[in-house]
């Protein structure tokens, strides 16, 4: 997670010791350069991967829960990692809950979205041409929508690349995919 020095000063946060080598410069609005620095690192290691010495995995997607600034979901391979940043250390975070995409033939999770209804207790993620949702209270799969190989049902004909819930209509989910359609 990244922050600008100005944001921290406005929030009245004290300066913490951070490795100054970890930072990036971005061009903000009006052409001004701003220095960003790392304010939190996430532990994405998989304790079930003993053969690989518990290596850290790349994050493919990250999203904050709407209205819950401290709750973050990361997608790493076939795993969902939920963090509660309001608990624990302010410079590093370990997952407060873990979920996993189970089954044969499934690939990595590529994108996800919090369901803004029911207090963000459901998180949906896409893998290939299917969307699955997890109840984040128990990190158990709640529902899924699978691709129909025959093309029936009006579902995605290719890989789902983006998804989002309609904040105004509870059971409406939009997806976009490689087939060039939004559903």
Residue-wise pLDDT for 47-62, tens only, equals: 665 555 545 568 888 8
Residue-wise pLDDT for 101-138, tens only, equals: 876 665 788 899 999 988 889 999 998 888 999 999 99
Domains observed in the chain: 1-39 (no CATH), 42-177 (2.130.10.10)
Please spell the DSSP secondary structure of the chain, one letter per residue.
Answer: -EEEHHHHHHTTPPP----TTSEEEEE-GGG-EEEEEE--EE--B-TT-GGGTT-B----EEEEETTEEEEEEEEETTEEEEEETTSS-SSEE--SEEEE--STT-----EEEE--SGGG-EEEEEETTEEEEEETTTTEEEEEE---TT-GGG--SS-EEEEEE-SSSTT-EEEEETTS-B-
Residues 24, 11: Cα–Cα separation, whole Å: 21
Average pLDDT, the chain: 75
- Apex 102 CA angle, 177 and 49, nearest 5: 110
pLDDT the model gives residue 113: 94
pLDDT the model gives residue 183: 73
pTM of the model: 0.71
């Amino acid at each position: 997670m990244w922050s600008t020095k100005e944001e921290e000063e406005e929030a009245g946060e004290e300066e913490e010791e951070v490795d100054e080598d970890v930072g990036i410069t971005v061009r903000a609005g009006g052409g001004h350069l701003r220095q960003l620095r790392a304010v939190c690192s996430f532990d994405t290691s998989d304790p079930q991967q003993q053969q690989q010495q518990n290596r850290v995995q790349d994050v493919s997607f990250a999203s904050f829960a709407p209205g819950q600034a401290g709750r973050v979901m990361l997608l790493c391979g076939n795993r969902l990692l939920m963090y509660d940043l309001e608990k624990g250390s302010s410079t590093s975070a370990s997952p407060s809950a873990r979920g996993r995409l189970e089954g044969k033939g499934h690939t990595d999770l590529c994108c996800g979205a919090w369901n803004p209804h029911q207090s963000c207790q459901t998180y949906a993620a896409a893998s290939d041409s299917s969307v699955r949702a997890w109840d984040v209270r128990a990190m158990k799969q709640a529902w899924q929508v699978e691709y129909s190989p025959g093309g029936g049902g009006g579902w995605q004909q290719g890989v789902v690349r983006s998804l989002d819930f309609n904040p105004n209509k509870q059971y409406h989910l939009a997806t976009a995919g490689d087939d060039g359609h939004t559903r």
